């Protein structure tokens, strides 16, 4: 009964979405306040109905209702409760349900929090959100209905792919989707602005918090996915330039560009058409990511099922959303008035540079990801594009981006003095040189030269961001107490920027450290053997068996020592899941926060007395995730800025003069 209720709610949600996408739009066009007023209750009703449907599906998973085919295919009565809940989105149908939940939550949030929006803009934004909802609800109901029954109901289910039974991955999809779908709000605002034919600083101020929220959660989602790949796949890598990873990375890059160009619209009323275009591109890339991952044309853990109908459906949705909005853009964008002027060397100029580099980076990732698919479709051969390509194209673009990232905030709006900015950065320059010297000394010149470039960039980003903050609070130039007061009174967005930029430096240090200086030992080890990795020696004590709730595992016990001192006892496992007949490798990791010692227990040799053991020493690797979390935190701090909440979002007619005291 409950699954039918969910199904029914989903169908109702579709009808509400249809009303939501049509009525407010007509209302806004004709100036009918009552029709525009439909937007908010419709968005809320749609969210509630979708939540009911999602709740019904979760219920079926939690009570293991094996008359529902989705539960049969992806659950098992012995599965731990956490994975019964996360298993709802650990499959194609359920993940699309999560997608639509996010979409409607964002839509309703615009309705609830957008009190200060002009009614016509608000109606149009919510209406566009409704259209996206219609597309995806149709997609679920036609091609991916999670509420289908099986008769007769089997006694037990097929279990969830064991690789997905992991706490890190349990929370990866909600964050990632909140990010993907969060960009739909920026998209809806862009389309609504094109329909209205008007973009002004107030518009940018309304768009920024949504973009910030989406960007922050997407950052967390990508970081969680990377962390999972690191410890779960047993290979010790954190990023593979896999098409599925790229699918999430492209919206992130474009979203980062959008975040920055919206600042220019807000402060200087310039770059308006470009910002609109970016908003469209960012969400289109999110949709494309959904298409790539969900259509099954990519080989990955995310490709749950290969069903051409689904791929075609999402492709059509993508074509309508992207094609339609770009068409609207080409008609309306030229009529948008261009705003403030600025010299190439200025804050605006630096943000333009940031945007150019980020777009170029997005384009290189895009080409590398889609080129093989393109060749395959045209039957021109099967190729793959791997990490060497991305390293060769992405890194050269990223380097100037990071250098400029530090200099940009020192530049004044409109026209700036580059030399002056650089002289104010001398402390950061000294700190950078010092860091490179330390790195070269510690590693004794080991590793590629590019590693030192990486460390230099990381230090530059970190210390440069701190220096900018110190400059703002006039540290050491006025009494410390006054500096403190200044810091407390700085807008949260300034804090957010400093945190995000500095943490980017931390993340770069982590990426560089582990890529350049990791050491790896692969060895067949018997209990009693000792191997060395980096400065550590690892002793293989014994192997035992451990019984989990729905798996049994071989567990190795390893003692890690350094110079005779006991460091840690590690217990990596090889789990076998009888239901799916799959084996997973659970690596054991000891972290010192400066580096990780990583042990993975591989398969036993033929006579069963020895095991293939992988040992890694990953310098600085935890910093990747510390840095990513810090970037997310920066986004959230910036999001809490009061100008996004209080009074600010009222459209000021005499905006130009009051916006920014010029220089």
Select the span of 26-34, 404-412, 517-525, 537-545 touching other proteins (CB under 8 A): 517-525
Give, in degrees to the nearest 5, the angle at Cα 519 between 516 and 522.
140
Long-range contacts of range 336-339, CB-CB < 8 Å, 24 or more positions apart? 336/197, 336/198, 336/199, 336/272, 336/273, 336/276, 337/272, 338/270, 338/272, 338/273, 339/265, 339/268, 339/269, 339/270, 339/272
581: helix, strand or coil = coil
Neighbours of 152 (CB within 10 A): 7
Cβ of residue 443: shortest distance to other proteins, in angstroms? 25
Select the span of 40-48, 300-308, 426-434, 482-490 touching other proteins (CB under 8 A): 300-308
Cβ of residue 261: shortest distance to other proteins, in angstroms? 13
CA–CA dist 284, 323 (Å, integer): 9
Select the span of 125-133, 208-216, 379-387, 483-491 touching other proteins (CB under 8 A): 379-387
- Which CB sits closer to other proteins, 350 or 498? 350
Cβ of residue 360: shortest distance to other proteins, in angstroms? 4
Candidate list 82, 299, 312, 578; residue touching other proteins; CB under 8 A? 299
Candidate list 386, 420, 446, 578; residue touching other proteins; CB under 8 A? 386
41 binds other proteins (CB under 8 A): no
- Which CB sits closer to other proteins, 51 or 356? 356
CA–CA dist 125, 419 (Å, integer): 44
- Which CB sits closer to other proteins, 406 or 600? 600
Select the span of 287-295, 378-386, 454-462, 544-552 touching other proteins (CB under 8 A): 378-386
76 binds other proteins (CB under 8 A): no
388 binds other proteins (CB under 8 A): yes
- 542: CB partners within 8 A, 6+ apart: 527, 556, 557
Cβ of residue 135: shortest distance to other proteins, in angstroms? 27
CA–CA dist 509, 515 (Å, integer): 10
Q: At what angle do helices 172-196 and 201-232 cross, to 10 degrees?
A: 160
- Measure Cα distances from 529 to 407, 571, 598 in Å: 53, 15, 17
* Contact between 604 and 630 (Cβ < 8 Å): no
- Which CB sits closer to other proteins, 40 or 302? 302
Candidate list 445, 581, 646, 663; residue touching other proteins; CB under 8 A? 581
Residue 549 is classified by DSSP as: S
- Which CB sits closer to other proteins, 8 or 235? 235
What would the 3-class secondary structure string for 47-91 be? Answer: HHHHHHHHHHHHHHHHCCCCCEHHHHHHCCCCCCHHHHHHCCCCC
Q: What is the dihedral of CA 173, 178, 183, 184, to 10 degrees?
A: 100
Of the candidates 535, 526, 538, 517, the residue with the CA atom closest to the CA atom of residue 587 = 538
CA–CA dist 385, 369 (Å, integer): 7
Task: Give me the 596-635 binding string for other proteins, x by CB under 8 A, dash otherwise.
Answer: ----x-xx-xx---x-x-x---------------------
- 548: CB partners within 8 A, 6+ apart: 575
* Contact between 270 and 342 (Cβ < 8 Å): yes
Cβ of residue 395: shortest distance to other proteins, in angstroms? 10
CA–CA dist 612, 580 (Å, integer): 23
308 binds other proteins (CB under 8 A): no
Select the span of 40-48, 315-323, 338-346, 442-450 touching other proteins (CB under 8 A): 338-346
377 binds other proteins (CB under 8 A): no
Select the span of 313-321, 352-360, 485-493, 496-504 touching other proteins (CB under 8 A): 352-360
Candidate list 382, 481, 566, 653; residue touching other proteins; CB under 8 A? 382
582 binds other proteins (CB under 8 A): yes
Place of tokens 């094609």: 323
Candidate list 261, 364, 498, 514; residue touching other proteins; CB under 8 A? 364
- Which CB sits closer to other proteins, 365 or 457? 365
Candidate list 21, 248, 360, 493; residue touching other proteins; CB under 8 A? 360
Select the span of 354-362, 448-456, 465-473, 503-511 touching other proteins (CB under 8 A): 354-362
Of the candidates 313, 316, 321, 318, the residue with the CA atom closest to the CA atom of residue 142 = 313
Cβ of residue 420: shortest distance to other proteins, in angstroms? 19
- Which CB sits closer to other proteins, 299 or 423? 299
Cβ of residue 80: shortest distance to other proteins, in angstroms? 20
What is the CB-side half-sphere exposure of residue 174 using CA atoms within 13 A?
10
- Which CB sits closer to other proteins, 384 or 569? 384
Cβ of residue 160: shortest distance to other proteins, in angstroms? 11
- Which CB sits closer to other proteins, 427 or 576? 576
- Measure Cα distances from 246 to 289, 358, 478 in Å: 8, 14, 47
Candidate list 585, 595, 628, 638; residue touching other proteins; CB under 8 A? 585
Of the candidates 450, 457, 409, the residue with the CA atom closest to the CA atom of residue 429 = 457
91 binds other proteins (CB under 8 A): no
Cβ of residue 440: shortest distance to other proteins, in angstroms? 28
Residues 148-207, interacting with other proteins (CB under 8 A): 161, 163
CA–CA dist 28, 33 (Å, integer): 8
CA–CA dist 538, 318 (Å, integer): 52
Task: Give me the 222-261 binding string for other proteins, x by CB under 8 A, dash otherwise.
Answer: -----------xxx--------------------------
Select the span of 77-85, 327-335, 341-349, 537-545 touching other proteins (CB under 8 A): 341-349
Q: Is the peptide bond before 152 cis (omega within 30 degrees of 0)?
A: yes
453 binds other proteins (CB under 8 A): no
- Which CB sits closer to other proteins, 606 or 658? 606
Cβ of residue 232: shortest distance to other proteins, in angstroms? 10
- 464: CB partners within 8 A, 6+ apart: 405, 406, 407, 425, 428, 501, 505
Candidate list 316, 341, 377, 480; residue touching other proteins; CB under 8 A? 341
Contact residues toward other proteins (CB under 8 A) are: 161, 163, 233-235, 297, 299-301, 303, 338, 341-344, 352-353, 356-357, 359-360, 363-364, 367-368, 371, 381-386, 388-389, 392-393, 396-397, 522-524, 580-585, 600, 602-603, 605-606, 610, 612, 614
């Amino acid at each position: 009964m409950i699954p039918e209720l969910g199904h029914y709610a989903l169908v109702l949600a579709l009808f509400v979405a249809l009303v939501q996408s049509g009525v407010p739009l007509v209302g806004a066009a004709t100036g009918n306040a009552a029709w525009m007023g439909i937007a908010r209750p419709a968005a809320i009703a749609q969210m509630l109905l979708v939540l009911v449907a999602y709740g019904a599906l979760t219920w079926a998973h939690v009570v293991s209702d094996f008359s529902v085919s989705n539960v049969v295919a992806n659950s098992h009565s012995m599965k731990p409760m956490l994975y019964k809940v996360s298993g709802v989105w650990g499959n194609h149908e359920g993940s699309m349900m999560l997608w639509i939940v996010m979409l409607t939550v964002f839509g309703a949030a615009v309705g609830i929090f957008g009190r200060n929006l002009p009614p016509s803009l608000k109606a149009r934004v919510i209406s566009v959100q409704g259209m996206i909802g219609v597309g995806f609800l149709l997609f679920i109901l036609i091609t991916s209905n999670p509420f289908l029954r099986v008769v007769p109901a089997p006694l037990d289910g097929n279990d969830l792919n064991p690789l997905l039974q992991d706490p890190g991955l349990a929370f990866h999809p909600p964050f990632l989707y909140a990010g993907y779908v969060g960009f739909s709000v920026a998209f809806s605002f862009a389309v609504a602005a094109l329909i209205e034919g008007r973009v002004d600083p107030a518009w940018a101020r309304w768009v920024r918090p949504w973009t910030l929220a989406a960007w922050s959660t997407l950052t967390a989602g990508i970081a969680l996915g990377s962390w999972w790949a690191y410890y779960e796949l047993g290979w010790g890598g954190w990023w593979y330039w896999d098409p599925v990873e790229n699918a999430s990375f492209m919206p992130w890059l474009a979203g980062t560009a959008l975040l920055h160009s919206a600042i220019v619209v807000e402060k200087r009323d310039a770059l308006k058409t470009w910002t609109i275009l970016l908003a469209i591109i960012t969400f289109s890339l999110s949709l494309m990511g959904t298409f790539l991952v969900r259509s099954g044309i990519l080989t990955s853990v995310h490709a749950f099922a290969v069903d051409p109908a689904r791929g075609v459906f999402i492709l059509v949705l993508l074509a309508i959303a992207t094609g339609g909005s770009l068409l609207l853009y080409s008609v309306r964008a030229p009529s948008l008035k261009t705003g403030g002027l600025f010299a190439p060397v200025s804050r605006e100029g630096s943000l333009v540079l940031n945007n150019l580099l980020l777009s170029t980076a997005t384009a290189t990732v895009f080409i590398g990801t889609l080129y093989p698919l393109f060749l395959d479709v045209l039957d021109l051969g099967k190729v793959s594009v791997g990490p060497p390509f991305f390293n060769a194209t992405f890194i050269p673009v990223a380097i100037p981006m990071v250098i400029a990232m530090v200099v940009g905030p020192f530049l004044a709006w409109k026209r700036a003095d580059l030399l002056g900015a650089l002289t104010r950065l001398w402390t950061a320059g000294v700190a950078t040189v010092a860091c490179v010297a330390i790195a070269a000394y510690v590693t004794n010149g080991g590793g590629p030269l590019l590693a030192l470039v990486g460390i230099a960039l990381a230090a530059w980003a970190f210390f440069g961001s701190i220096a900018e903050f110190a400059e703002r609070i006039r540290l050491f130039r006025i009494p410390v107490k006054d500096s403190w007061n200044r810091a407390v009174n700085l807008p949260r967005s300034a804090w957010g920027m400093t945190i995000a930029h500095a943490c980017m430096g931390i993340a770069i240090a982590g990426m560089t450290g582990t890529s350049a200086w990791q050491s790896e030992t692969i060895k067949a080890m018997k209990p009693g053997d000792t191997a060395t990795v980096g400065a550590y020696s690892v002793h293989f004590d014994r192997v035992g068996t451990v019984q989990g709730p729905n798996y049994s595992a071989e567990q190795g016990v390893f003692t890690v020592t350094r110079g005779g001192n006991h460091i840690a006892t590690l217990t990596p496992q090889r789990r076998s899941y009888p239901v799916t007949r799959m084996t997973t490798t659970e690596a054991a990791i000891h972290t010192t926060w400066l580096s990780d010692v990583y042990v993975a227990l591989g398969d036993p040799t033929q006579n069963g007395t020895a095991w293939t053991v992988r040992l890694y020493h990953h310098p600085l690797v935890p910093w990747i995730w510390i840095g990513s979390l810090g970037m997310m935190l920066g986004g959230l701090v910036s999001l809490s800025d009061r100008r996004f909440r209080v009074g600010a979002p009222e459209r000021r007619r005499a905006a130009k003069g009051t916006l920014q005291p010029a220089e």
